[in-house]
Amino acid sequence: MKKPSWTLWLVTTLLMLTIAGPAAAKDLQIGALYPRSGSLALLGEESWRGAEIARLEANKKGGVGGDQVVFVNADGHDVAAARAEAERLIEQSKVGLILGSYASSRSMAATEVAARKNAVYFELGAIANSITERGYQTVYRTCATAFNFSKSQSKFIAEWLAPQLNKKPSEVKVSIAHEDSDYGTSVADSFKNAAKEFGIQVVSVEPYAANTSDLSPVIFRLKKAAPDIVIAVSYAQDAILLSRQAAELKLGIPLFGTGGGHSLKSFQEALGDKVEGVLNVDFTQYEVSSAFTPGLKEFVALYRETFKEDPKSGHSLANYMGTKALFDILAKTKGSVEADAFRKAALAMDVPEGATSTGWGVKFGENGQNQRANPFIMQWRNGKLMTVWPKAAALMDPVLPK
């Protein structure tokens, strides 16, 4: 039998390749777990938008390691849902990496599932200290912790507020009013510890349910404690309620927000001129030194192009920056989410402060916590949340709140 000629084999092979077409790039599937319905949907959706912009931007540039990134979206609208959705993403959708999740209570549940199943969880917005304090080797976080927030607040009170009040730090009295989930409780406990470091007095602590419709009992107890300032730890609606009732009941003590609802445009819109002078410590917002936040202006332009409106808070920016850091790690692993390879690449990452769109750097400790994510102090001035401290990021000096 005559063997096929080399020419015939070559023609046949080329014909088969032409019919099949070029090899398609495979998808890199990543779970995206956020509360996108329910009481935390506002900032959950805003957080997801930041990650989504980073995904679209990466895909437009050719993907990550040549692979197109696809989010497998999940709605962690409550703690039980976050746990169940993490299970579904890993077991049914077969993703080896999940990012999210904005709310600390949701993150605590979802990261436990991921760690138990040896899947990577990349937290971009939840700040409870314990998320990266449980010894999990597959959990990473790019944003600041509750203690980072509290240390920045305490340092600001000791170095700036105390002199403005003609007091020593040890003479400044502070009360804490906080919603009672993992987020609020972790921040309140962190502030008590940070305050001790700076010698600041904590004279009362007032926990409350975030879904309450009446905070007047809290206001009356705060008035009785007579602090110089109130550290307020709130989500969106309770931040508005606390400030409104403080004004109505003539509390007469300035509030110092701790991220969450105090950074939202809806907070300013709801309170009108009563928002003037309110302080807040938070993720990087948009009125900040552009020299310290390279890429921020470009992010805002991408946000407007994608969602046809301005960003609602810095949560989207924090998630954008964190997702870009994640993609840089995946570029090093060539798209692999295998736990050991990912950990090696993550721990080798070394980005200085002032080199990202949030102004944060990236350097993970052994516990997976980014050690270069420091929140800034902002103040509502003329309807805008202006960065006032530290100097490197500030656009203006703070003023004494009323």
- Model pLDDT, residue 19: 41
- Model pLDDT, residue 265: 85
Task: Give the CATH H-level superfamily of domain 147-282+377-389.
Answer: Response regulator (3.40.50.2300)
**236-248 vs 216-225: helix crossing angle, rounded to 10:** 60
CA 357 to chain centre: 13
Please, what are the averages of pLDDT over each run of 10 residues along the chain (402 residues)? 45 41 68 96 95 98 96 98 98 98 96 98 96 97 95 96 97 97 91 95 97 97 98 94 96 92 91 95 95 97 98 95 98 96 98 97 98 96 95 96 84
Task: Give the separation between CA 259 and CA 378, rounded to whole angstroms.
Answer: 10
* Entry pTM: 0.86
Task: Give the CATH H-level superfamily of domain 27-144+292-371.
Answer: Response regulator (3.40.50.2300)
Give 293's contacts (C-beta < 8 A, 6+ positions apart).
284, 354, 356, 357, 358, 359, 393
Instruction: Compute the residue count for the chain.
Output: 402
Contact 32, 48 (CB under 8 A): yes
Q: Within the chain, which residue ranges are assigned CATH 3.40.50.2300?
A: 27-144+292-371, 147-282+377-389
Cα torsion through 191, 196, 199, 200, rounded to 10: 30
